Amino acid sequence: MRKVAVVGVGMTKFSGKQDKTTIELFAEAAIDAINESNLKPKDMQALFMGNALGDFAEGQAQPQAFAADYIGASHIPANRYENACASSSAAFRDAFMWVASGFYDIVLAGGSETAAKMGTPLATRTFAMASDSRYEYPCGITFPGVFALLTHLYAKQYGVPLEKLKQQMAQVTVNSHYYGARNPKAQFQKEITADDVLKSFMVCQPLQLYDCCPFSDGGSAIVLASEEKAKKLTNKPAYVVGVGQASAGNLLSQKEYLPRLRSRELAAKQSYDMAGLSPKDIDVVELHDCFSIATIIALESLGFFEFGKAGEAVEKGETKIGGKMPVNPSGGLKAKGHPIGATGTAQVYEIVKQLRGECGERQVEGAKIGMTDTLGGDGGTLCNVILKKGW
Amino acid sequence: MENKLSFKQYNEALKQNKLLGLKCKQCGTITVPPKIVCGNCASTDLDIVELSGKGKIQTFTTVFVAPEGREGECPYVIVMVELNEGPWIMGNLTGVDPNKITMEVMGKSVKMGHAVFPGDKYSSGDGARPLFSLEA
């Protein structure tokens, strides 16, 4: 297996409802990534695109083929990845494997989504399609609902009083907005207080509005290249040193394992083992904070904090830049935004920028190894990627 | 191979307040809702069994923001129940005030009825789900 590097990254500003299409958003990010790689669209050998809901948002199926043509690369195969919120992480992982295998030298991976455009009722309905349509949706489950169920389970499992846990969760959100305010591409560039979180309206008890990420529009793209090509294209290659992906059935099939998500622990182990690294080696992580509790659950399953203790770590500032484990300096899904098909490769975008030292006020100084964590559905897909500074 | 217990069979039984599951002839584990294999050992050697529909609430939420088409149901309570036979199942909870429910409900014993989601333009027909109520 060959070494593979990220040689270029691109990302649109993430936002609420805007006028561009799924294909236009993808194309803007893709052209930026290709330009940054000192390549042309004709140099791409395959295109892997994450997009979960284009059919519902715009009546657009197979956007990947149109996207390939739209950027001037209709000579290449283009495949769509639908892994709910982890769509472009799955696309990225497969792009990595095709280059690692030697079949391709240069692959474009990315994703885009226009979820904000759908409005809350339709977006809530279509997001819920990533739960079990036969055995969960008849109950009226929604994604805030899933994480609300997990919040109560977490409080009971680890003996954290709910009021205390909600304070810790509010701090997660405050941190996200703090960094979002320092990311020009973030949807929300405004700091908020814990009080703002705890006064926002109830979405699914006990999750309030500011415990939840927004519906977003946006695109992101990454160019991956073999080590040999990468060395000719850039003096700052970010090597993909570990990847992992695992699956799960509906939430209830995980029973007493909850609130942990088994797919995350399987995928994380794959990525750590492949990289020959452990959680203590990671300098910065972009993890799937679709809801404030999701950050706490992820931090534990990724091995950064003990089970039941991540909330305390957040309160102590250990997840901020300068702390033990800097989390989501981009602002995360909560403040940067969550255009679901674009989220995974936007996490890779941030990690690569962090490794290059290009993040300004939100820079994790000296970051050499970074990790991404992307969740699809209620644990159905979980992808992790570990990237290492190559210079 | 054919599914031992299809969604259609499961759904029709649930509409009669009968909760069907699968018992593994290899390891004895009960799998519900059904899969083509045992949820524990992936054996396909399974028997259909009827479950009690009784169990304990493990967790809950009250939904205030509904998906398109279900706004009229809000607020509603979703529970995950550990059945006496072992599996967990998702359902709704009736007979409580959705605005006042607290974590004290966790661990409480419940019995099962059912309610039917009539389906919408995206779903393939209707779908019954367990509708639990607290045991007296």
Band of residue B136 on the pLDDT scale cut at 50, 70, 90: confident
Contact A140 B78 (CB under 8 A): yes
Which ipTM was obtained for this model? 0.98
Residues A193-248: tens digit of each pLDDT? 999 999 999 999 999 999 999 999 999 999 999 999 999 999 999 999 999 999 99
Three-state secondary-structure class, residue B67: coil
How far apart CA B89 and CA A253 sit, in angstroms, is 8
> How does the average pLDDT of chain B come out, rounded?
97
Looking at the predicted structure, is the pLDDT value of residue B62 above 90?
yes
Angstrom CA distances, A109 to A139, A310, A351, stand at 36, 32, 15
Q: Which residues of B touch A203 (CB under 8 A)?
A: 64-65
Domain A4-119+214-389 has CATH 3.40.47.10: yes
Burial of A103 (0-12, 13-18, 19+ CB in 10 A): exposed
Angstrom CA distances, A130 to A123, A276, A380, B32, stand at 12, 33, 8, 19
Residues B67-103: tens digit of each pLDDT? 999 999 999 999 999 999 999 999 999 999 999 999 9
pLDDT (0 to 100) of residue B54? 98
Q: Which residues of B touch A202 (CB under 8 A)?
A: 62, 64
Q: Look at phi and psi of residue B31 and say left if phi exceeds 0, alpha if psi is from -120 to 50, else beta.
A: beta
Q: Which residues of A touch B82 (CB under 8 A)?
A: 255-256
Q: Identify which of A155, A204, A253 has the shortest CB distance to residue B65.
A: A204
Nearest-10 crossing angle of helices A22-36, A340-356? 20
Region B107-117: mean pLDDT is 98
What are the strands of the beta sheet with A284-286, ordered from one edge? A78-81, A47-50, A106-114, A217-226, A4-11, A238-247, A381-389, A369-376, A284-286
pLDDT (0 to 100) of residue B58? 98
Give the type of residue at A191: E
Q: Is B25 on the interface with A (CB under 8 A)?
A: no
Mean pLDDT by 10 residues, chain A (391 residues): 97 98 98 98 98 97 98 97 98 98 98 96 96 97 98 98 98 98 98 98 98 98 98 98 97 93 97 98 98 98 98 98 98 98 98 98 98 96 98 96
How far apart CA A36 and CA A28 sit, in angstroms, is 12
Q: Is B80 on the interface with A (CB under 8 A)?
A: yes
Contact A125 B128 (CB under 8 A): no
To the nearest whole Å, the CA of B127 is away from the closest chain A CA by 6
Q: Is B42 on the interface with A (CB under 8 A)?
A: no
